[in-house]
C-alpha cells in the first residue's frame, strides 16, 4: 500500500494543521463539495473535471458534453453505447460483445474511462446506477488524466452522501422481458456524518437469439463533514456482470448479410463473459485557508474478467459458407491509484490566478491469458451459413500468458489566469514517468520499457460578454506502444517511442438563456508515431500518421420552462495520412461517419403529463480500416411519455426505434457487425420520499 500513502500522509498533515488557516471563523460556514453541484435539468454549468478545479463550462477552452442525471433518466440511457448516440463526435464500437469501446474524434479506446477523475481502464460494460452525471471530454487530455485519451475521455461522477434523508427506488421492464430494480438511500447518522447506499439488479434480454445477461452491484458510501472546511468520503463498490458474448453477424458483398437480424452465430454454452470487481475509494477535500485547498483521492480495485466466444471470421461466400474462429481470454488486474492536488487562488496585480499543483502515483498489475480455439485441429473452420446456426465442437489450448506491472509517477502544474472580465488563459504542463515490466509466462521472456512523457496544455478564452466566450486551445497526449491493456509488448515494440496526439481547437460557447447552452468547436487532431512496416521485412518504424478534422455543435437546456432539448451535429473526417502497418495513406478510419445529427426533446404538457421525442442520424461508415465493408446510414426515432402519478411516484415509457427500422449501429470488424433492435418499449416507475 506504499503508493497512495505519500498522498495520504500529505492529506493527514493538512487535516492536522488548522492553524494554517488565516481566519478559521470566516471558514466555519464553508462547504467544499467532492463533486460538482447538482445539475438543473439537462444543462450543467460547471465541471470539476476538465481543469481539476471548479470551473464554469463557458470558461473551459475545450469541447465537453455532459449528460445529467435528469437526462439519463428521461432517455432511459443505461450504457455508454446508448449515451454516445446523442453526443457529437462520438460513436461506439461493439467491443466484441463484452466491453465498452468508444471512438472519440476518430480514435478508439478500451481504457479511456475514469470515475471522479481516477482511471477505470478494465474492459467491461459500465452501469450508471450510482452516478450523478456522465462527462465526455473531447481531444487529448493528458495534462489532467495522464497517458492515453488521444480522442477524449469519459468520466463518471459518483453520487455522494448528503445531509437529508431520502429513499428512492426505480423498477423497469421492457417488451423483450428484461427487467431492472434500483435503490438509492441516504441517511444522516450523526451531526456531520451521512451514509448513502446505491444498488442495482438487472436481468437483461434483447432481440438477439440466445442473448442473456445478469448483473448486479452495490455501492455503500460514508461521508464526513470536516468541521465546515471540507468533506471526507469513504466508498466501496462490488459489481458482478455475466452475459452472452454477442459478436453479431458477418458481411456479404461489402455490406452486413441480409435477413438475419436476430440470428446468433456462436454457441450459447460457450459465448459468455464473467466480470467481478471490488473497488474501495477514499476522497477528501479540505480548505487550509480561504484561498488554499487540498484535495486527495485514492482507489484500490481488484478486477477479474473471463470470456469465451465462437464468432464469424470471414464474409459469407457466394457458395453460402463462412469461416468461424474461437478463443478464450482471461484478465486479472489490481489497480492502486492516488492523486493529490493543491488549489490556490491568488492575484498578482490585476491578474487573478487559480493555481493547481499536484502529483499522481499508481501501480497496475495484470495477469492475462489467451487460448485459441481448435475445430478438429484447425483454427478457422469453414461451415455452411444456416439459421439457426449450430456451432461445431471446439477445444481450447493456452497460447499466451503474461504478467505486467505498470508503475506511474506524475507531477503537474496549471495556472488559470483571469485578465479583467474578458480574457482567460489556461496553461499547464504534466510529466509522467510510465514504467512497464512485461513477463511472457509461456516462453519466460522478460521485457521492460520506461517512458518519460511531457504533456502540455494551453488555452485562450475571450469573453465579449459574461454569457459568451470564444476560445482557442492546444493539447497533447501519449499512448505507450504496449497499448491500452499492456498486452502487446514484445522485443520490437519495447524499443519504440509512444504514439503522440496533438489537438488544435477553436470554438465558441454561448449561454443563450440561463438554462440553455450552445457550443461549437472546430478541431484538427493529428496522431503520429504510429507503427508502419519498415524498409527491411519484419521491422517496424514509427512513420504512420492519422488526422481527424471536424465540426461539433451542441445545444442543451430549456427552450422554455416546459421544453427541454439536447441536440448535436457533427461533420467530420478521419483518415490515414501516412501509411501504417494496418493501412495505406488515404484510407478512412472505421466507425467515423461523415455526419451525425441528434435531437432529443421533452415537453411538459401539464404538471402531470409530458412527452419525449428523439431523432438520431448516423451517416455511413466503414467497419474497419480495410474500408471493405460499409455500415449503411440510418435514422432512428425514439419517443417517450411521462406521468406524475403522485407527489412521490413518476412513471414513464420509452419507445426505441419507433418506426421499426432495420439498421446496423456498429461493428468490431468486417464480420462482427451489430444489428439494431426492432421497436421496443421500456416501462419505468420511480419513487422518492
529 φ/ψ sector (left φ>0, alpha ψ -120 to 50, else beta): left
* Grid coordinates given for 573: 473526417
pLDDT value of position 86: 94
The grid coordinates listed for 529 are 508515431
Please state, as a whole number, how many other Cβ atoms lie within 10 Å of the Cβ of residue 145.
Answer: 25
Structure confidence at residue 30 (pLDDT): 36
90 vs 66: CA distance, rounded Å: 13
Residue 506 C-alpha cell reads as 477553436
Q: Is 83 helix (H, G, I), strand (E, B) or coil?
A: helix
Residue 581 burial (CB count, 10 A):
12
Q: How far is CA 614 from CA 91, 484, 598, 603, in A?
A: 17, 34, 7, 12
User: Which grid coordinates are listed for 452?
Assistant: 518519460
Which CATH number characterizes residue 331's domain?
2.40.170.20
Strands 272-287 and 255-256: unpaired
Using DSSP's 3-state secondary structure scheme, residue 19 falls into helix
Cell of 92: 461506439
CB of 323 within 8 A of CB of 104?
Answer: no
Task: Report the b/e string of 429-457 with b at 16+ CB within 10 A.
Answer: ebebebbbbbbeeeeeeebebebebebeb
CA distances from 377 to 374, 394, 624 (A): 5, 9, 29
Q: How many domains does the chain have?
A: 1
Contact call for residues 80 and 100 (beta carbons, < 8 A): yes
- Beta carbons of 292 and 342 less than 8 angstroms apart: yes
Give the cell for residue 404.
Answer: 505486467
What pTM, to 2 d.p., does this model score? Answer: 0.93
Could you give phi then psi for residue 624, rounded to 5 degrees? -145, 180
Compute the distance between CA of residue 358 and CA of residue 6 in angstroms, rounded to an integer: 12
CB contact at 8 A, 640 and 669 = no
- For residues 371 and 369, give the distance between their C-alpha atoms in angstroms, rounded to a whole number: 7
610's grid cell: 409530458
Paired residues of 272 in beta bridges: 244, 308
Residue 465 pLDDT: 96
469 within 8 A of 463, measured Cβ to Cβ = yes
Q: Which of 521, 437, 429, 421 is nearest to 471 (CA)?
A: 521
One DSSP character per residue, 346-357 reads EEETTEEEEEEE
Range of the domain at 654: 2-688
* pLDDT reported for residue 36: 39
CB atoms near residue 467 (< 10 Å): 14
Q: With beta carbons less than 8 A apart as the criterion, state whether 435 and 407 touch.
A: yes
pLDDT at site 2: 36
Segment-wise mean pLDDT, segments of 10 residues, the chain, 689 residues = 36 35 36 46 94 96 97 97 96 96 95 96 97 96 92 97 96 97 97 97 96 98 96 98 98 96 96 98 97 98 98 97 98 97 96 98 96 97 96 96 95 97 97 94 91 96 97 95 76 78 98 96 96 75 92 97 97 95 93 98 97 98 97 98 97 98 97 97 97
**CA 500, CA 147: separation in Å to the nearest integer?**
10
Q: What is the DSSP letter of 18?
A: G
* C-alpha span between 360 and 297 (Å, rounded): 9
* Cell 468520466, located at residue: 155
* Predicted local distance difference test score (pLDDT) of residue 541: 80
CB-based contacts of 486, cutoff 8 Å, min separation 6? 364, 366, 404, 406, 436, 438
Amino acid at each position: 500500500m506504499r503508493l497512495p500513502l505519500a498522498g495520504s500522509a500529505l492529506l493527514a498533515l493538512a487535516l492536522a494543521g488548522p492553524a494554517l488557516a488565516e481566519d478559521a471563523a470566516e471558514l466555519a460556514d464553508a462547504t467544499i463539495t467532492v463533486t460538482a453541484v447538482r445539475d438543473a435539468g439537462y444543462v450543467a454549468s460547471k465541471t470539476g473535471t476538465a481543469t481539476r478545479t471548479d470551473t464554469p463550462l463557458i470558461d473551459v477552452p475545450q469541447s465537453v458534453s455532459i449528460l445529467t442525471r435528469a437526462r439519463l433518466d428521461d432517455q432511459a440511457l443505461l450504457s455508454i453505447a446508448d449515451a454516445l448516440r446523442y453526443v457529437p463526435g462520438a460513436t461506439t464500437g461493439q467491443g466484441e460483445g463484452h466491453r465498452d469501446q468508444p471512438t472519440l474524434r476518430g480514435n478508439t479506446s478500451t481504457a479511456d474511462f475514469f470515475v471522479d477523475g481516477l482511471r477505470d481502464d478494465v474492459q467491461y460494460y459500465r452501469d450508471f446506477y450510482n452516478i450523478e452525471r456522465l462527462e465526455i471530454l473531447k481531444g487529448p487530455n493528458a495534462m489532467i488524466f495522464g497517458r492515453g485519451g488521444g480522442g477524449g475521455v469519459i468520466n463518471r461522477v459518483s453520487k455522494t452522501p448528503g445531509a437529508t434523508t431520502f429513499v428512492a427506488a426505480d423498477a423497469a421492464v421492457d417488451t423483450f422481458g428484461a427487467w431492472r430494480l434500483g435503490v438509492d438511500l441516504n441517511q444522516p447518522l450523526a451531526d456531520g456524518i451521512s451514509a448513502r447506499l446505491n444498488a442495482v439488479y438487472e436481468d437483461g434480454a434483447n432481440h438477439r437469439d440466445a442473448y442473456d445477461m445478469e448483473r448486479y452491484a452495490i455501492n455503500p458510501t460514508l461521508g464526513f463533514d470536516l468541521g465546515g472546511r471540507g468533506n471526507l468520503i469513504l466508498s466501496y463498490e462490488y459489481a458482478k456482470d455475466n452475459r452472452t458474448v454477442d459478436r453479431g453477424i458477418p458481411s456479404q458483398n461489402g455490406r452486413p448479410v441480409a435477413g438475419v437480424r436476430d440470428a446468433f452465430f456462436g454457441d450459447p454454452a460457450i459465448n459468455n463473459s464473467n466480470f467481478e470487481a471490488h473497488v474501495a475509494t477514499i476522497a477528501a477535500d479540505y480548505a487550509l485557508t480561504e484561498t488554499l485547498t487540498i484535495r486527495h483521492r485514492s482507489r484500490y480495485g481488484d478486477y477479474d474478467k473471463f470470456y469465451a466466444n465462437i464468432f464469424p471470421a470471414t464474409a459469407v461466400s457466394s457458395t453460402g459458407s463462412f469461416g468461424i474462429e474461437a478463443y478464450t481470454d482471461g484478465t486479472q488486474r489490481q489497480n492502486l491509484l492516488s492523486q493529490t492536488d493543491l488549489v490556490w487562488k491568488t492575484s498578482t496585480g490585476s491578474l487573478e490566478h487559480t493555481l493547481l499543483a499536484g502529483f499522481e502515483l499508481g501501480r497496475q498489475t495484470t495477469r492475462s491469458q489467451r487460448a485459441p480455439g481448435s475445430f478438429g485441429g484447425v483454427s478457422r473452420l469453414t461451415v455452411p451459413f444456416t439459421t439457426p446456426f449450430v456451432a461445431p465442437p471446439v477445444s481450447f489450448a493456452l497460447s499466451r500468458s503474461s504478467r505486467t506491472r505498470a508503475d506511474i509517477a506524475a507531477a503537474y502544474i496549471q495556472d488559470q489566469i483571469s485578465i479583467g472580465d474578458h480574457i482567460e488563459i489556461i496553461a499547464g504542463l504534466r510529466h509522467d514517468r510510465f514504467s512497464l515490466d512485461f513477463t511472457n509466462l509461456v516462453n519466460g521472456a522478460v521485457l521492460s520499457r520506461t517512458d518519460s512523457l511531457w504533456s502540455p496544455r494551453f488555452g485562450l478564452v475571450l469573453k465579449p460578454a459574461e454569457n459568451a466566450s470564444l476560445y482557442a486551445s492546444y493539447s497533447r497526449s501519449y499512448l505507450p506502444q504496449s497499448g491500452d491493456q499492456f498486452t502487446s509488448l514484445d522485443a520490437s515494440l519495447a524499443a519504440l517511442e509512444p504514439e503522440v496526439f496533438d489537438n488544435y481547437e477553436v470554438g465558441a460557447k454561448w449561454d443563450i438563456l440561463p438554462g440553455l447552452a450552445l457550443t461549437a468547436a472546430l478541431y484538427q487532431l493529428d496522431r503520429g508515431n504510429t507503427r508502419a512496416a519498415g524498409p527491411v521485412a519484419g521491422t517496424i518504424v514509427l512513420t504512420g500518421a492519422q488526422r481527424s478534422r471536424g465540426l461539433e455543435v451542441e445545444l442543451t437546456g430549456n427552450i422554455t420552462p416546459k421544453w427541454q432539448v439536447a441536440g448535436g451535429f457533427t461533420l467530420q473526417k478521419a483518415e490515414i495520412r501516412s501509411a501504417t502497418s494496418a493501412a495505406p495513406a488515404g484510407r478512412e478510419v472505421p466507425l467515423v461517419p461523415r455526419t451525425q445529427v441528434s435531437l432529443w426533446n421533452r415537453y411538459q404538457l401539464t404538471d402531470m403529463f409530458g412527452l419525449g421525442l428523439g431523432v438520431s442520424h448516423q451517416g455511413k461508415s466503414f467497419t474497419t480500416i480495410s474500408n471493405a465493408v460499409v455500415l449503411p446510414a440510418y435514422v432512428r426515432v425514439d419517443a417517450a411519455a411521462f406521468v406524475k402519478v403522485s407527489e412521490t411516484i413518476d412513471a414513464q415509457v420509452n419507445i426505441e426505434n419507433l418506426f421499426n427500422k432495420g439498421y446496423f449501429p456498429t461493428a468490431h470488424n468486417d464480420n462482427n457487425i451489430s444489428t439494431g433492435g426492432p421497436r421496443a418499449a421500456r416501462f419505468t416507475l420511480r419513487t422518492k420520499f
